[in-house]
Amino acid sequence: MSRKKKVKATVVSQKQIADQIYDLWLETELAKHAHAGQFVAVYPHNASTLLPRPISICEVDKSAGRLRLVYRIAGKGTAEFSACKTGDTLEILGVLGNGFPLEKAKGKRVFLMGGGIGIPPMLELAKELDADKQILVGYRNKDLFLEEDLAKYGNVYIATEDGSVGTKGNVMDAIRANNIRADLIMACGPMPMLRAIKQYAEEQGIEAYISLEERMACGVGACLGCVCKTREVDHHSHVNNARICTDGPVFEAKEVEI
C-alpha cells in the first residue's frame, strides 16, 4: 500500500484528560506505518468545514493496529471530534510528515522538549528513541497531562507558567534550574519556545530538530498556510520556502527561519 492513504478509522476509546484536551484511540491500518513525529489529517463529518484537521500522533500500538491522538479543541472540527464515542468512525488521511530522525540520537543524551499541545508527540518519540532521554515539558498551570506516561521512558522535568508544579517559567527555565545538558534536542511546541530552543542550540553548538506543526492549517499541502522560510532554496519552487505539512513538520533548527 502507498504510504499516504485515506481510510476509515474506528474509535476505540476517548476521554478528556485536561481542560479542552482529549485522548483518542483509533483502530486503523495506518498504525503499522506510523512513527514518532508524524501526523494524520482527520476529516470532520460536517461538510461545511471542508479541510481535514492535522493532529500529531501521540502513541502507536502496532500489534493492536491502533493510533493514539491527544489534541486540544481549537475550533468546530476538533469540537466535533471530541463528541466521538466508542464504535464511531472517522475518516483519516495518513501517515503524513517526515517524523523525527531517530538514528541521530543513538547513544546520545537527548532533550525531548514539549510545550502545550506539542507534548503529545514526545510520548511516541520517547518510546522509539534508543538514547539517554531527559524529557522537559511545559504547561500553563497544574492541569497536567501525559506526564505519567512520559515518566516510563525517561527523566521528566516539568515547568509551569504560574509555578504551580515544577519550575516556574518554561522548558528553558527548567534546563537552567536543573543544570542539565544534552548532545541533541528534539522538540515540539509553540513558536516562541521553538525560537528559544533554536537560539540555545546555536549557542551550545548542538544539533536540534524541531516540529513546526503549530503553523499547520490543512495538513495536506492544499492551503499554503504553513509555509516557512528556509536557508536552502527549494528545488521545485526555486525559492527559500518549504511547506511544513509536506516537507516537515520536523526540520533541523538551523535550516529554518522562525
Q: Which CATH number characterizes residue 22's domain?
A: 2.40.30.10
Do 135 and 41 belong to one domain?
Answer: no
Do 172 and 211 belong to one domain?
Answer: yes
**pLDDT over threshold 70, residue 188:** yes
Residue given cell 503499522 in the structure block: 32
- Residue (of 246, 257, 184, 191) closest to 38 by Cα position: 246
Section 77-105 average pLDDT: 95
Do 107 and 207 belong to one domain?
Answer: yes
Domain's final residue, options 45, 76, 96: 96
What pLDDT sits at residue 228?
60
233: pLDDT confidence band, cut at 50, 70 and 90? low
257: pLDDT confidence band, cut at 50, 70 and 90? confident
CATH of the domain at 130: 3.40.50.80
What is the number of structural domains in the chain?
2
Domain's final residue, options 71, 96, 121: 96
Q: Which domain holds residue 50?
A: 5-96
Do 130 and 90 belong to one domain?
Answer: no
What pLDDT sits at residue 2?
46
Give the cell for residue 99. Answer: 517524523
Rounded Cα distance, 170 and 242, in Å: 28
Do 113 and 91 belong to one domain?
Answer: no
Residue given cell 508524524 in the structure block: 38
% of the chain with per-residue pLDDT over 90? 79
Do 142 and 79 belong to one domain?
Answer: no
- Residue (of 123, 127, 106) closest to 114 by Cα position: 123
**pLDDT over threshold 70, residue 194:** yes
Domain's final residue, options 77, 96, 115: 96
Section 141-152 average pLDDT: 98
> 187 near 210, Cβ under 8 Å?
yes
Q: Among 37-41, 94-98, 254-258, whose mean pLDDT is lowest?
A: 254-258
47: pLDDT confidence band, cut at 50, 70 and 90? confident
**pLDDT over threshold 50, residue 178:** yes
Rounded Cα distance, 26 and 59, in Å: 11
Section 169-182 average pLDDT: 97
Do 143 and 55 belong to one domain?
Answer: no
**pLDDT over threshold 80, residue 207:** yes
What pLDDT sits at residue 1?
37
Do 129 and 25 belong to one domain?
Answer: no
Rounded Cα distance, 56 and 36, in Å: 9
Do 205 and 110 belong to one domain?
Answer: yes
Do 121 and 209 belong to one domain?
Answer: yes
> 22 near 71, Cβ under 8 Å?
yes
Do 160 and 246 belong to one domain?
Answer: yes
What pLDDT sits at residue 49?
73
Section 19-38 average pLDDT: 97
For the question of whether the overall pTM of this predicted structure is more than 0.85, the answer is yes
Do 39 and 144 belong to one domain?
Answer: no
- Per DSSP, 26 falls in state E
